[in-house]
Structure 1
Amino acid sequence: MPRVKRGVAARSRHRRIVRLARGYRGRRSSVYRVAMQAVTKARRYAYYDRRLRKRCFRALWIMRIGIAAREAGTNYSTIIGRMARERHGMCRFTIAAITSDDASLPGNVAAMLQSDG
């Protein structure tokens, strides 16, 4: 039976992991076994935080809309309820962007949503 020589595949796999760990401190950036653990954990955090970022931004938009709604004399749930009932094309991100860009707009957005209902 011929001898199996597979050093090239293992070396390329190791090199790929060590390249991903570039910039890490200590042995995490140079030793394959330690770099593998560091890269695995980093990827896990990246996956989790991509989802966390969506939650954080949604919470920020809700806060901004709520503040603008209170300034206009109504509340967040009223505005969102009207939007859902009338099927407005605006999402929370759009409303939050409109209300945070210009100080005079929160009242205008609230008035627009209230006048339709």
Structure 2
Amino acid sequence: MVFLSFVNCMRVKGPDKFWKRRQILKLAAHFYGRKRNCYSIAIRSVQKALQHAAYGRKVKKLERINLWKERITAACEELNIPYPLLMENLARCDIALSKKTLADLAIWEPRTFKCLTQIAAAKNQSYPPTVKAALQPPPEGVITRGML
């Protein structure tokens, strides 16, 4: 259909209204009562449900991260190494494992996780504890890269 003026174009309601209503009612198909059948009530319910769904996606991610952190912390406590120390020393060793991977290792492969904690503990012992200690010259008889 060709419209010669914009006014006539705006007055035509066409099939778009049907499809828009149908989409909302499809989204409301699992609701109870009039929220399911009555369009004016369904539109509010669907909008609120979509808001809750968007919020839930964010919360779900945060809850998973917290769960992984708790699992790693529990495994670290069994092996007598604090969680922050483990993460810091794994980063110093250039071992880039995500929290999810570490949590899976802690649950399903405890020996591998124990080896990782031993690596982190060894790195912690070799690393200077403070900045002041790092600036002091090395002891007699020790050759460092800076001396070469």
Q: TM-score, normalised by structure 2?
A: 0.71
Q: Secondary structure at the match of 1:69?
A: helix
Q: Which has the larger helix fraction?
A: 1
How far the C-alpha of 1:88 sits from its partner, in A, is 1.7
- 8 Å CA contact retained: 2:81, 2:121: no
Out of 9, 18, 24, which is 2:25 matched to?
18
How far the C-alpha of 1:103 sits from its partner, in A, is 4.4
Aligned to 2:120: 113
Out of 8, 24, 36, which is 2:15 matched to?
8
Consecutive unaligned residues of structure 2, counting only runs of 5 or more, are: 1-6, 125-148
- 8 Å CA contact retained: 2:34, 2:42: yes
Q: 1:16-57: per-residue Cα shift (whole Å, max 9, x none)?
A: 100111111001111111111111111111111101011101
Consecutive unaligned residues of structure 1, counting only runs of 5 or more, are: none
Equivalent residues in 2 for 1:81-96, closer than 5 Å: 81-96=88-103
Q: 1:47-95: per-residue Cα shift (whole Å, max 9, x none)?
A: 1110101110111111111111111111101011112333322011100
Equivalent residues in 2 for 1:22-33, closer than 5 Å: 22-33=29-40
Take 1:47 and 1:62, find their aligned partners in 2: how far apart are those partners?
Answer: 24
Flag the structure with more relative contact order, 1 or 2, with Cα contacts below 8 A and sequence separation at least 6: 1
Greater shift in the superposed pair: 69-78 or 80-89: 80-89
Matched, 1:78 2:77: no
Matched, 1:42 2:49: yes
- Return the index of the structure with the highest Cα Rg: 2
Take 2:114 and 2:94, find their aligned partners in 1: how far apart are those partners?
Answer: 20
What percent identity do the matched residue pairs reach?
Answer: 23
- 8 Å CA contact retained: 2:76, 2:82: yes
Aligned to 2:60: 53
RMSD, matched Cα: 2.0
Q: TM-score, normalised by structure 1?
A: 0.87
Greater shift in the superposed pair: 57-66 or 101-110: 101-110
Q: What is the number of equivalent residue pairs in this alignment?
A: 117
